[in-house]
Amino acid sequence: MSTEVAHGLPRRRFSIKSVVADGVFFGFLFIVAFLTIFPLSDEQTLDLARNLLIGLVSFLAGAMLSFGLFQAGWTTLGYMIFRRASDVAPGETAKAWFKTFWGFQLFLTLGVFCVVGFQVTEFSFYELLSTDGFEGAKRIFGALSNPEPSVFAPGFLAIIETIFIAFIATMLAIPVAFVISFFCAKNIMGGSPLGLFVYGTLRIFFNIVRSCEPLIWAIIFSVWVGIGPFSGMLALMIHSVASLAKQYSEQIECISEGPVEGIQSTGAGFLQTIWFAVVPQVVLPFVSYTIYRWDINVRMATIIGLVGGGGIGTMLMMYQGQALWNEVGALVVIIAVVVWLMDSASAQIREALK
Amino acid sequence: MTATTGNGNILQIRNLEKTFPNGVKALKGVSFDVKKGEFLVVIGLSGSGKSTMLRCLNRLHDPTGGSVLFHDDDIVKMKGGEVRTLKKRIGMIFQHFNLVDRHSVLSNVLTGALSRTGSMTSILGLWPEADKKRALEYLKLVGIADKAYIRADQLSGGQKQRVAIARSLMQNPEILLADEPVASLDPATCHSVMEYLKKVNRELGITLICNLHFLSLVRQYADRVVALRGGELVYDGSPSAIDGAWFTKIYGEGAREVHVN
Ligand SMILES: Nc1ncnc2c1ncn2[C@@H]1O[C@H](COP(=O)(O)OP(=O)(O)O)[C@@H](O)[C@H]1O
Ligand SMILES: [Mg+2]
């Protein structure tokens, strides 16, 4: 599907992606206009079918508008985003970008998006600056900056638990991710249709696993194995396997082929080729990613603790529930110090391994 | 040693073809013989199919037609385990050396023994003492025994290529393939590497098939020359017989010979 606008002019090629994008941009504007004119009643808010229909009609109208504008030679935002490098926007290239149609569309869409956003988040300077609100903030910050010393000892034990949850999750994830990463690397698996199938399936599977936040895995596992450090560890492990497998396999995909050919030409077997030609090229980046993952896991383990995954997060949740702000303050200090220490240590190690 | 393929030929290449999955016909039916113990040089423009041909001989590439007799076995028809045995019997060195940079020189040489070492044994690094001794001997043969324990990426280009030669000698090869072994080296180093290849050929009796760019090197080292042009054989004979007319036929109009000293 390609369209020649006029003889001698640069090519403008139609693309589905740009029409879909414009469908969303224009459709959004249509929905906002429609709802401003006809606000939803409480009943209508719950009518899923009707609301979906409004959305779909708006999207289709937007997509048709985009196609029409494309045919008429206008350059829409969607076209601008998804045009190929060889496509030019005729007539628009000479203009200042803010005088173009797509520039206008960008500002209008962003502007309306911001207005709707302020509405939805109930943004209010009044609440932020009211004397009542100020008093509350002063009370909390006061308590936080005056931590309760008796909490330091148990808090310290709790964060050790958190660090170990993160450590074991990372350790258990390493061998699994290591083995899987070779099956997720296109240059290793691309040789045969079966290989490509395994590669594709694993990619999709791990993309789904990774798009589930550890917090959600923690909720699943706390139902499965009960609330506590074990469920938190399992949640982090699953997420770590998926993340490490992706990072490891990307590293495997950019190794140089030379050593592989060199080792293969000696008559080495498959495992030997992996070990002697691939592993030496990826081992340092692997170590670096793994240390970083542990670092990330310590932070995530704190958050997961909030939903009962054990460690210092659980303790934090307990004190917060009882509004014991001085105790919360002590825990915040511990977390800040440990996260900062882990972060700089891992950065130093990763820098040294380069 | 096993009996050779009659009349002293170690390889009989017949109508060898290679068409890549993307449709490029890199070899269009190439036929010639390789005599046991000779130093054969393959010349041709870049893109003429030299690398592809060498890689078909040790099955780094799978040929798509023709036959290559190696001791009465057809290389083209080999499968699985046979291909590994073949690779073991035919060593190869490359333009970019293809060493494992992070490993020591000695462990790079030892990888030449992979095909006769078990997977676990080699992965755990439990190389037999005899192999370690041989690796050091081959390093001595190519003149860099003193570098055995430093990392391969610390070496110069010429030294890396000599390590690669030692690695391939660890295989006990009958044939050594060399794909433009001196193309990334400066002229002085280039002769040193060619001398070592000659030594391997003369002293160890290993048949050499070597792709080269410079005709001056060819005249100096080759026993015999074959030339490829556009995936076809256009010359098979002595290096001294390549005169102006042949030069034009191999390299095309407008090409001029350059010398490496
Ligand atoms: N893996 C490959 N896939 C597709 N085409 C290839 C591949 N390798 C080489 N070719 C093509 O085959 C032809 C011969 O290449 P090559 O054997 O490398 O030539 P030479 O070594 O003489 O320079 C070239 O046209 C090259 O582009
Ligand atoms: Mg080549």
Question: Do residue A272 and residue B99 have CB atoms under 8 angstroms apart?
Answer: no
**What is the reported pLDDT for A1?**
39
- Residue carrying structure tokens 């005899």: B130
Which two three-digit tokens encode residue B147?
A: 């570098």
Mean pLDDT of B125-131: 94
* B252 within ligand 1 shell (Cβ under 6 A): no
Pair (A187, A326) in one structural domain:
yes
Cite the DSSP H helix spans in B175-214.
187-203
C-alpha distance from B95 to closest chain A C-alpha (Å):
10
pLDDT at B251: 85
Contacts for A325 with CB less than 8 Å, ≥ 6 apart? A139, A140, A143, A144
Q: Please check whether residue A108 lies inside any domain of the structure.
A: yes
User: Which one, of A18, A22, A6, lies nearest residue A73 by Cα?
Assistant: A6
Three-state DSSP class for residue B41: strand
Q: Are B91 and A266 a contacting pair at CB < 8 A? A: yes
pLDDT confidence of residue A93: 61
Same domain, A331 and A284: yes
Q: Are B83 and B59 in contact (CB under 8 A)?
A: yes
Contacts with B42 (C-beta within 8 Å, 6 or more apart), sequence order? B50, B53, B54, B209, B210, B211, B212, B225, B226, B227, B228
- Atom 11 of ligand 1, nearest CA residue: B26
Q: Which of A106, A123, A140 is the last residue of a domain?
A: A123
Pairwise pLDDT comparison (B244 vs B162), residue with the higher score: B162
Domain assignment of residue A214, yes or no = yes
Distance in angstroms (rounded) separating the CA atoms of residues B222 and B202: 12
A35 located within any domain: yes
Phi, psi of A311 (to 5 degrees): 75, -160
Cα separation, B177 vs B208, in Å, equals 6
Domain identity same for A194 and A70: no
Contacts of B165 (CB under 8 A, 6+ apart): B93, B138, B142, B176, B193, B196, B197, B200
Q: What percent of chain B has pLDDT over 70?
A: 96
Q: Is A137 within the bounds of a domain?
A: no
ipTM: 0.91
Check pLDDT > 80 for residue B260: no
pLDDT for the residue numbered B2:
44
Report whether A61 contacts A27 (CB < 8 A).
yes
Q: Are residues A157 and A94 in the same domain?
A: no
Q: Are residues A187 and A88 in the same domain?
A: no
Spatial distance between the Cα atoms of A261 and B59, rounded to a whole number of angstroms: 11
- Residue A70: both structure tokens together: 């494309």
- Substitution target in A266, A271, A283, A287 with the highest count of B β-carbons within 10 Å is A266
Amino acid A3: pLDDT: 42
Residue A50's φ and ψ, nearest 5 degrees, are -65, -45
Between B255 and A204, residue with greater pLDDT: A204
Which parts of chain A have pLDDT scores under 70? Answer: 1-11, 88-94
Range of the domain at A187: 149-353
Q: What is the rounded CA–CA span in Å between residue A164 and residue A166?
A: 5
**Inter-chain contact A281–B102, Cβ cutoff 8 Å?**
yes
Same-domain check for residues A97 and A244 = no
Clarify whether residues A75 and A190 are in a common domain: no
Same domain for A117 and A265, yes or no, is no
> Same domain, yes or no, for A156 and A270?
yes
A:B CB pairs within 8 Å? 82
What pLDDT is attached to residue A4? 41
**Do A115 and A194 lie in a common domain?**
no
Q: Are residues A252 and A293 in the same domain?
A: yes
Give the distance, in angstroms, between the CA of residue A22 and the centroid of all CA atoms in the same chain: 24
C-alpha to C-alpha distances, A138 to A131, A145, A331, nearest whole angstrom: 10, 10, 19
Q: Cβ–Cβ of A267/B84 closer than 8 Å? A: yes
Assess if residue A142 is contained within a domain: no
Smallest Cα distance from B175 to chain A, Å: 12
Query: Beta partners for B177?
Result: B92, B209
Domain count, chain A: 2
User: What is the maximum span of chain A, computed from C-alpha positions, in angstroms?
Assistant: 81
pTM: 0.78
Cα(B55) to centroid(ligand 1), Å: 11
Chain B residues with CB-CB distance to A261 below 8 A:
60, 94, 98
Ligand at minimal distance from the CA of B44 is 1
pLDDT of residue A44: 83
DSSP labels, B122-165: HHTT---HHHHHHHHHHHHHTT-GGGTTSBGGGS-HHHHHHHHH
**Per residue in B78-114, pLDDT tens?**
998 899 999 999 999 999 999 999 999 999 999 999 9
Residues in B closer than 8 angstroms to A281, CB to CB, are 100, 102
B/e letters for A37-61, b = 16+ CB within 10 Å, e = fewer, are: eeeeeeeeeeeeeeeeebeeebbee
Whether residue A258 and residue B94 make contact (CB cut-off 8 A), yes or no, is yes
pLDDT per position as a tens digit, B166-221 = 999 999 999 999 999 999 999 889 999 999 999 999 999 999 999 998 788 898 99
CB of A291 closer than 8 Å to CB of A346: yes
Q: What is the pLDDT of residues B6-61, one digit of tens each?
A: 578 999 999 999 999 999 999 999 999 999 999 999 999 999 999 999 999 999 99
Atom of ligand 1 nearest to the CA of B53: 17
A50 and A161 both lie in a single domain: no
Q: Is the dihedral of CA A330, A335, A336, A340 positive or negative?
A: positive
Residue A144: inside a domain:
no
| Position A128 in a domain | no
- Work out whether strand B232-237 and strand B39-43 pair parallel, antiparallel, or are unpaired: unpaired
- The answer to the question of residue A304 being in a domain is yes
CATH label of the domain that carries residue A281: 1.10.3720.10
DSSP strand pairing (B65-70 vs B9-19): antiparallel
Cα B57 to averaged position of ligand 1 atoms, centre (Å)? 15
Phi, psi of B122 (to 5 degrees): -75, -40
Residue B167 in contact with residue B188, Cβ under 8 Å? no
Give residue A47's pLDDT: 86
Q: How far is CA A311 from CA A1, A53, B120, in A?
A: 58, 47, 41
